[in-house]
Amino acid sequence: MQIGSEAHKELFIRTFREGHRRYEPKDLDWPELASDELALLRGLPFWTHALEFESAAGPMIRSLAATIDDREIREALELQAYEESRHADLVAFMLARYDLPFEERPLEAVENPLGAFIHFGFEECLDSFGGFGLFKLARDSELLPEGIFAIFENVMREEAQHIVFFVNWFAHHQAQKGLPWLRGPRGLWHYALAVAQLGDLVRGGEDEEEGADFIATGAKAFVDDLSVGLVLEACVSENERRLAGFDRRLLVPRFVPSLAAAALAVLDRLPRRRAAKSTESSRRVRAPRG
């Protein structure tokens, strides 16, 4: 299939529309949590980031949709805006339901919706890559009830849909302008940002200090003796699993997963200098509290 063709556009829009599910956050089956489970959730470092990221996304994407002449692309963007606003509602509902700490930050006005959406899309590819791995590590730890993961499975599934929609939309958008879809300066710049952020993730895995990347910091809540290898391995395998079900003719995000897989291969070949911290002991998820 020719990337940028009408058939390509029809396929990535249909895939996205067919992945949409109806639900309201307040109607989901929110479990009661024990005090140690609440303490674990309250200690996670990303509630402010999650609420801010999701709250800003819906209005930004809606403002881009309003500028698009192509009806099918406009409606797909409106659908993504709806799903992002529902993510914000879901996070807000959870923060209130379990009294979790967060900082309310004012939304910034969007001056350049197209640029903002492209930046957001690359950021979503990176955040989803880390988020999928963190979600797997957290779920395997059994430190929180499965009901919480069943609720957030909706978000993970939708984020996979969003990043596949985004990379195909971006390729189509570039092709329409006669530009190569991954080699334009804009794509390179965003990928450079992604590499820098991946560097933060890797450093965060070794640095216990404040300011470590939220994915690594979050993962530490669920896994004893966390290693960079363990986090990357979960991210790479979960990313593969969640993207495997998409139509093979579509593009899927490859750059960050490939970098991470390369980093993993290097880590596997390094001498085991810090034997106590590496492999076997680090591959155990924390035992569930009884």
**DSSP character at residue 227:** -
Shortest separation between residue 283's beta carbon and Fe ion, angstroms: 30
Question: Which whole-number Å values give the CA distances from 108 to 52, 105, 111, in the listed order?
Answer: 10, 9, 9
Shortest separation between residue 279's beta carbon and Fe ion, angstroms: 34
Q: What angle (nearest 5°) sits at the alpha carbon of residue 40, between those of residues 34 and 46?
A: 135
Closer to Fe ion by Cβ: residue 120 or 181: 120
Q: Contact residues for Fe ion (CB under 5 A)?
A: 54, 84, 87, 159, 162
**DSSP character at residue 244:** T
Shortest separation between residue 117's beta carbon and Fe ion, angstroms: 11
Closer to Fe ion by Cβ: residue 54 or 213: 54
Q: Which residue is nearest to Fe ion (CB)?
A: 162
Closer to Fe ion by Cβ: residue 52 or 233: 52
Instruction: Please give the distance of CA 278 from its chain centroid, rounded to a whole number.
Output: 26
Q: What angle (nearest 5°) sits at the alpha carbon of residue 14, between those of residues 174 and 128?
A: 65
Cα–Cα dist 54/89, whole Å: 9
Shortest separation between residue 162's beta carbon and Fe ion, angstroms: 4
Shortest separation between residue 32's beta carbon and Fe ion, angstroms: 26
Closer to Fe ion by Cβ: residue 54 or 238: 54
**DSSP character at residue 27:** G
C-beta neighbour count of 225 within 10 angstroms: 15
Closer to Fe ion by Cβ: residue 158 or 233: 158
Cα–Cα dist 21/10, whole Å: 20
